[in-house]
Amino acid sequence: YLKISKLALAFAIIHSKPPGKSSKEYTEYLAKTVSEQDFGWKWKVEVLEAEVLRLRQELLLTRISPRFCLENRKQDTSAETLLGQESINPTGYSSQLEDSGCDVCNDSAFDFLGIASDFHQSEHNVNTSKHWLERVPPLNLCHTSKEQSVTAPVHFLQCLLEIRQLSEGGILQANFSELENDSFTICNSVSQLLDGLTFFYNSPKFPAPSFLTEGVRVLISLITDTKLSNHVLKKCFKKLEEFKKNLIQIILRNRSVNRFQALHSVSETLGLLGRNNILRNSLISLLLSEVRQFAEQLLQAHQVQSVYDITQYENIFFLCMILEQLLQNETEESNISSSDYGGEEKIKFLKNLDQIILHLSDEFPLFSLYLWRVSVLLNSGQMQ
């Protein structure tokens, strides 16, 4: 039946082809027309799905705090009206949105995007901005962009954080149990943000766009908030794990000539994710696995005198630096048991490590030094 159908289709194309055009050309034209129609329908479906998600986000915010959403709809409402002049931080997010991403006035290990210093400040101050309270208009069916895949969930999550801060200050009443009743919205919003960040980290632009910087800020604030993080981690843990794996692979596989600024930015995000106690252990395990596998591959190449991937060798140092920083933070925090992180990967990493360092130390002294420093931190944690 399939052969007969194909044959009938071929005859129909031949008989209906316009004069001056071959059967092959006419077939290619028809195939292109059909594929464009399919693409158009898929694109419209994606836009409509995004609009449905936006409406669900708005509905969820209304259920959590009706007053916040009522104020949000007033044209003349601003953060000053809601909070009062005395609670406004003049160095809040409105000015930070213009950050170029190249701040060099802070020597913090994780401050490339200007996030780390502001993150500590936001733990003690209510930072607000009119940008947070601007209502996102309905999506235009004639225009979508990858930028919207970041800005749309960022706006929703910003509002969620804003409600959280205002409720903590006793200014708003909020019912966050609604998050349990609508896991779809929070999961899809976080997933959309993570996919958008992954896309832009794969194709970085400099200076970093403000929406990308703000996306990272919101993600870090979300997973470190004492009340919201449980909802997010419980529902989106697998997606966050996938995001961390993607960032690690972006670091390892990047082969562009001017890649180091981009890789540094990705490294900062991984380091900030590692500040969360739940995400830290799994991130340490992932990093230990990648560094161990590369060390074993490098040793094998060195022993048989074969070529090794010099680009990956350069990139692996970013993972080593992240790993060392996370382990250092872990051992400095006395309220956290340092003996639990790493698990099985920690045992695999330390096994035969001395022999690996011994054989690689002459040819690869810097990498061997990093391996030794990581092993010292792992062993010091084991002793505590």
CB atoms near residue 282 (< 10 Å): 19
**Cα 63–64–65 angle (5° rounding)?**
95
Question: How high is the pLDDT of residue 372?
Answer: 95
Q: In this model, does residue 50 exceed pLDDT 90?
A: no
Q: Using pLDDT thresholds of 50, 70 and 90, give the confidence band for residue 72.
A: low
In tens, the pLDDT along 145-193 reads 678 888 889 999 999 999 988 888 888 888 888 888 888 898 999 999 9
Q: Which residues contact 76 (CB under 8 A, 6 or more apart)?
A: none
Q: In this model, does residue 70 exceed pLDDT 80?
A: no
Q: In this model, does residue 25 exceed pLDDT 90?
A: no
Burial letters 289-307, b for 16+ CB under 10 A, else e: bbbbebbeebbeebeeeee
Question: How high is the pLDDT of residue 355?
Answer: 92
Q: In this model, does residue 331 exceed pLDDT 90?
A: no
Q: In this model, does residue 348 exceed pLDDT 50?
A: yes
Q: In this model, does residue 80 exceed pLDDT 50?
A: no
Evaluate whether 99 touches 115 at the Cβ level (below 8 Å).
no
Question: How high is the pLDDT of residue 171?
Answer: 85
Q: What is the DSSP string of 269-317?
A: HHHHHTTSHHHHHHHHHHHHHHHHHHHHHHHHHHHTT----HHHHHHHH
Question: How high is the pLDDT of residue 30?
Answer: 84
Dihedral sign (CA 206, 209, 213, 215): negative
* Greater model confidence, 85 or 226: 226
Q: In this model, does residue 139 exceed pLDDT 60?
A: no
Q: Which residues contact 153 (CB under 8 A, 6 or more apart)?
A: 189, 190, 192, 193, 196
Closest CA to 163 of 64, 23, 248, 50: 64
Question: How high is the pLDDT of residue 178?
Answer: 85
Question: How high is the pLDDT of residue 251?
Answer: 95
Evaluate whether 243 touches 223 at the Cβ level (below 8 Å).
no
Question: How high is the pLDDT of residue 354?
Answer: 92
pTM: 0.71
The per-residue pLDDT of the chain, averaged, comes to 78
Q: Among the listed ranges 68-72, 78-82, 89-93, which one has the minimum average pLDDT value?
A: 89-93
